[in-house]
Amino acid sequence: MRVCVFGAGAIGGFIAAALARSGVDVSVVARGAHLEAIRTGGLRVSSDLGDFTVQVKASNDLRDFGDLDYVLLTFKSQQWDGVLPQFERAIAERAVFVTLQNGLPFWYSPDRALESVDPGGRILRMIPYDRIIGGVVHASGHIAAPGRIRQSGGMLYPLGELDGTTTQRICALSQAFAAAGMSAPIEPEIRRNIWRKLVNNLALNPVSALTRATVQRMLSDAPVRALLRAIIEEGLAIARASGVEPGVDADERLKWAEHIADVKTSMLQDVEAGRPLELEPIAGAALELARHHGVPAPHVETVYALTKLLGRNVQSA
């Protein structure tokens, strides 16, 4: 099995390192000082699997690698525009693309591109629909230093074919994750799993960015917790209007969040680092569906507008 992890940051870097340690032929796409550190010293990991270092092939361009069985997409969705040309070779060579990204994926509706994620439908037209596997990340982490990753928050990475079938290719990938110490159960309704995570991200990520508060600090503040609950409820209503029953309620989602370590969300980390915010695939896409289906979402609208302005201010600072 030959796997490339496109986006070897906190999540992708850990997945790549765990797979490589178990014997999978792994390559990674990374950038800048992080890339150079991986090339010279490997991926150094502190994690729920222990501390270890692995050597992997690394480049800033997917086209530098030969035939691939799987390309795991772990970069942030706002980066699609700059990397899409790199996918032509892997598409031609029939690689399978596995989306392990926050928010709603570009493939969410096969016949209607989400403008928030895929303006004009370029990604949906380019990547064959039958070569996509959906995935969800239930873990956290950060890049402690170039080439050094700290992971926490569990080992759960559900995978699902978009049509709900169980194929040889998804079984092989699930088994590879398991052999590496990670759990990747095959889910027949991957959209349901995506929404379960999305409604939490929809609430926790923007509010943390606006308040600079960690997860547990937000949950322990009664007025903020009430706001988070209202946002989750609106997100669940949007999911149902789009044809997906998440099978959870807001109270269950808040209780699930209570089990997360008292960490900074990825969006808060991006604010503090002055990076672009991963807002559109999370809040922008949810609002796009809300408007399409006529679902009122006033709390999401408000938080989205404020966080969008915050993102512009962070970038201009």
Q: Which residues are known to be catalytic?
A: 197
**78 DSSP 8-state letter:** G
- Nearest-angstrom CA–CA distance, 12 and 31: 13
| Dihedral of alpha carbons 74, 76, 80, 86, sign | negative
- Nearest-angstrom CA–CA distance, 309 and 279: 11
Beta strand 70-73 with 2-6: parallel, antiparallel or unpaired? parallel
Exposed/middle/buried for 116, CB within 10 Å: 0-12, 13-18, 19+? buried
Q: What dihedral angle (degrees, nearest 10) is formed by the CA atoms of 268, 53, 185, 231?
A: 0
Of the candidates 58, 49, 59, the one whose C-alpha atom is nearest the C-alpha of residue 15 is: 49
Answer for the pair 76, 269: CB distance below 8 angstroms, yes or no.
no
Answer for the pair 137, 183: CB distance below 8 angstroms, yes or no.
no
Beta strand 148-156 with 43-47: parallel, antiparallel or unpaired? parallel
- Nearest-angstrom CA–CA distance, 98 and 80: 14
Residue tagged 């096969």 (tokens): 110
